[in-house]
Structures are given as C-alpha cells and as structure tokens.
Amino acid sequence: MKPEIHLLGISIKTFGLTFALGFLACGLVVARRLRELGKPVDWAYEIVFAALIGGIVGARGYYVIQNYSQVKHDLLGSIFSVTGLVWYGGAIGGAIGVIGWMRWRHALELRMLDMCATALALGYAIGRIGCQVSGDGDYGIASSLPWAMGYPHGTVPTPPGVTVQPTPIYETVAMCLVAYALWSLRDRVRPGVIFALYLVLSGLERFLVEFIRRNSEVLAGLTAPQLESLGLLAIGLVWLAALVRHGGVQALRPSTA
C-alpha cells in the first residue's frame, strides 16, 4: 500500500492522484465522443469541470448526511474537510452539475447521456485503483482465499496478519469491462440504451460486491449502497423494458432515419 508518495519534498496522496487521472480519462473519452457526434470538442473541459464541482459537493454532502451523528458537533469543519467522500453522493452531485450544464448549453439529449455513462464507468474503475493503492478502507471482509491480501500500511489499515477480499480490484476489473462494452455499443444501439445499460450493469456490480464488503446492513439484510444499487438497477430495467414493450427488440437498435 502507498497512501502517499513524496516527490521533490512534496507529499502527494495517491488517491488524489488517481482521482485526477480518472477525470482526465473521462475527459478524453468525452472529447472523442463529442468529435464523433459533431459537437464542440471544447465542451469536454466544461463537462468535466461541471462533474468535478458537482461530484465533490455531492460526495462530501452525502458523507455529512450519512454520518451526521458523528460530525454534528463540528458541522462546518466537517463540510469543508478534505476526507470523507461517498461515491453515490458524488454521482448524484456530478449528474446534477452535468445536466445543469447541458441545459445551459441546450445540449440535453440522450446521446449526451450515453456519452457520460461510458465516462462514468471508466472513471469509477480508475477511482477504485486509488482505493486499492491507498488502502482507504474500501476493501472487503476477512478471507483466506489465495488472492486475499492485507492492508497493514493503508490509510485504514487491517490488523497484522489479517487478509481480506481485495474488492477495489474486483470493481476496477468489472467496471473496466462495463466501460469497454458501453463504448463498443455506442453506435450499435439507439440513443438512451447505453445509459439504461449503465444503470443496470453498475447497479448490479455494486449490489453483488457489497456482499463481501464491510458496510453495515441497514434494511432487510442489505447495505445502504445495495438499496441504492437496486434503485439504479430498477430504473435501467424499466427503461429497457419500456423500449422493448413499445417496439420489440428492434426498438433497441439505432434508427435507420
């Protein structure tokens, strides 16, 4: 584990580094797709900036709400703290930021949502590399599997001699495959299908991995992220079902017009 690296006397957090690399990768994907769609490539910078601001506010706000009983005695300090970010809060905040930008640019359409879905999958995969390298506590439950590992020097260290499920690696691999699949389908399905597939696949991935993560159960034996994942999964499935119901499987294919 390497929570931070030192370069020329400067301490750099590895999670922050991969966080930045994730946004850079998303920007490159968005720029490539904007060019294919005949949109201004410079919009990629604006989209990434809107996602960054909205994502940070959402991730931090979600953490404060989720842990209110622990932070209420120093609420202002907790709001502006540099630690404590929640993925789903960041996703919600980032989505609000990007949709707001799209409305401002009069560019809110299904093809743009599809483009962002692919970028989100890739950004999530890269972000989990940061979780793995920094050992920030997103690892799984104790395990004796051959590939289980310990995080004794992580930001949130495991006890000496204890090995756990390396769930960040699982999620990186899974979401890289999702990103690749969505990118491959970008011109093979009608607008909106890729976004719906992203909701289904990302929701399913997080729902399953939560069974071997350390999050506490909150309802019916499920964790909060699992309940949120089921919501995303349901929305995506309803979206796809509605398309098929009104036009059959053919409705998922791009229009010939």
Residue 238: what pLDDT?
95
- Mean predicted confidence (pLDDT) in 114-139: 91
- Mean predicted confidence (pLDDT) in 146-164: 91
Q: Which comes out higher in pLDDT, residue 194 or 77?
A: 194
pTM score over 0.85:
yes
Could you read off the pLDDT of 44-91 as tens digits, one per residue? 999 999 998 988 888 877 777 766 666 666 655 555 555 556 767 788
- Least confidently predicted of 57-71, 132-146, 236-250: 57-71
d(CA 130, CA 5): 13
- Mean predicted confidence (pLDDT) in 168-192: 95
Q: Containing domain of residue 218, as a range? A: 4-39+107-252
Query: Is 21 within the bounds of a domain?
Result: yes
Query: Is 245 within the bounds of a domain?
Result: yes
Q: Give percent above pLDDT 70 in the chain.
A: 88
- Least confidently predicted of 63-77, 147-161, 188-202: 63-77
Query: Is 170 within the bounds of a domain?
Result: yes
Report the sign of the C-alpha dihedral through residues 243, 200, 191, 105, in that order: positive
Query: Is 8 within the bounds of a domain?
Result: yes
| Band (255; pLDDT cuts 50, 70, 90) | low
The residues, ordered by sequence, that sit 6+ positions from 103 with a Cβ below 8 Å of its Cβ are none
Q: What is the DSSP string of 54-123?
A: HHHHHHHHHHHHHTHHHHGGGHHHHHT-SS---HHHHHHHHHHHHHHHHHHTT---HHHHHHHHHHHHHH
Residue 253: what pLDDT?
78
Query: Is 145 within the bounds of a domain?
Result: yes
Residue 77: what pLDDT?
55
Query: Is 189 within the bounds of a domain?
Result: yes
CB 180 within 8 A of CB 160: no
Query: Is 164 within the bounds of a domain?
Result: yes
Residue 123: what pLDDT?
92
Query: Is 216 within the bounds of a domain?
Result: yes
First to last CA, the chain: 53
d(CA 246, CA 113): 21
Could you read off the pLDDT of 94-109 as tens digits, one per residue? 889 999 999 999 999 9
Question: Angle formed by the axes of helices 193-209 and 167-184, to 10°?
Answer: 170
Residue 6: what pLDDT?
80
Q: Which comes out higher in pLDDT, residue 48 or 245?
A: 48
Residue 41: what pLDDT?
96
- Mean predicted confidence (pLDDT) in 217-235: 91
| Band (145; pLDDT cuts 50, 70, 90) | very high
Work out how many domains the chain is built from and give that number: 1
